[in-house]
Amino acid sequence: MKLKLSSISLLLLIFLFSCNAQAQYKTIQASEFTAVVKAEKAIVIDVRTEGEVAAGYIKGATVFANVNGPDFTRTIKTLDPSKSYVVYCRSGARSARASEIMSANGFKKVFNLSGGILGFTGEITKP
């Protein structure tokens, strides 16, 4: 019985540590966007499709990398992981996934814009 309990305890510890080792990023609200970009000197990344970007994007976005596209991982690997990034999409789900991928690839300061461009109240640029 002692061996069984120790095995269960060991598996539980491994599970807990693996959950805590997951990539981390911070989710910010639209009201925090400008302050975070300014304070962190953050690069703004739009992870939507080309068609969505063509309809308009958040002013200041300089990196456009479709998280569902085949080149997303290759594109983020060209970026400096020591810099800060604010990531957004249409509503926040794809940018959360992109933020997770970036964090897992060594990016330390990644901010996901909650609500995406739909919840953004600032200036939208039309190409």
Residue segments in the chain with a per-residue pLDDT below the cut of 50: 1-5, 9-21
79 within a domain of the structure (yes/no): yes
Q: Between the CA of residue 124 and those of 53, 55, 60, 72, 113, what are the distances in Å?
A: 10, 10, 9, 23, 15
38 within a domain of the structure (yes/no): yes
Domains of the chain: total: 1
pTM: 0.82
For the chain, how big is the Rg over CA atoms in Å? Answer: 18
Q: Between the CA of residue 52 and those of 12, 48, 87, 109, what are the distances in Å?
A: 44, 6, 15, 25
DSSP reduced 3-state for 21 = coil
Give the pLDDT of residue 23: 59
Give the pLDDT of residue 10: 41
Domain limits for position 57: 23-125
108 within a domain of the structure (yes/no): yes
57 within a domain of the structure (yes/no): yes
Query: DSSP states of 103-114 as a string?
Result: HHTT-SEEEEET
92 within a domain of the structure (yes/no): yes
What is the C-alpha to C-alpha distance for residues 103 and 92, in angstroms, rounded to an integer?
16
Catalytic residues: 89
Give the pLDDT of residue 5: 45
CATH number at residue 61: 3.40.250.10
14 within a domain of the structure (yes/no): no
Give the pLDDT of residue 18: 44
